[in-house]
Structure 1
């Protein structure tokens, strides 16, 4: 479960950092700040968090494809 937590925490952190930077750059309207932060951090995560996303995907795939124990 660790890759999932790392990726999720990284996405949240990237969103917060993006929101802080946009605020410092002068975006004061809270709705626009949240909307812009959502889109900018989303695009940035495609590049910055690719390794974490791949690790999470592998972990989830392995967990889903694991054979189920049979009750006898």
Structure 2
């Protein structure tokens, strides 16, 4: 699967899990729930998804560095 898709789905899944856990722990205010989930999942993804982030970065870098074909 494409590394960008894997990383994006992993980030979304991590956010969803964090959101559900905080809600189950009793955090009911929607604004605080979303902000806390965003911050916690962001820190967690920095630690847990480093391999996926590196793969995504390499894929994007390879695409940008590839020479474009000449239209003659």
Shift of the alpha carbon at 1:71?
1.2
Structure 1 residue ranges (4+ consecutive) displaced by more than 6 angstroms after TM superposition: none
Report the 3-state secondary structure (helix = DSSP H, G, I; strand = E; otherwise coil) of the residue aligned with 2:10. Answer: helix
Report the 3-state secondary structure (helix = DSSP H, G, I; strand = E; otherwise coil) of the residue aligned with 1:70. Answer: coil
Query: Alpha carbon RMSD of aligned pairs, Å?
Result: 0.9
Shift of the alpha carbon at 1:21?
0.5
- 2:29 corresponds in structure 1 to 29
Could you state the TM-score of these two structures normalised by the residue count of structure 2?
0.97
**Which 5+ residue runs of structure 2 have no aligned equivalent?**
none
Cα offsets for 1:6-31 (capped at 9, x unmatched): 00000000000000011111100011
- 1:39 corresponds in structure 2 to 39
Could you state the TM-score of these two structures normalised by the residue count of structure 1?
0.97
Query: In 2, distance between residues paired with 1:71 and 1:2?
Result: 28
Report the 3-state secondary structure (helix = DSSP H, G, I; strand = E; otherwise coil) of the residue aligned with 2:64. Answer: helix
**Which 5+ residue runs of structure 1 have no aligned equivalent?**
none
How is 1:43-54 mapped onto 2 (pairs within 5 angstroms)? 43-54=43-54
Query: In 1, distance between residues paired with 2:37 and 2:8?
Result: 16
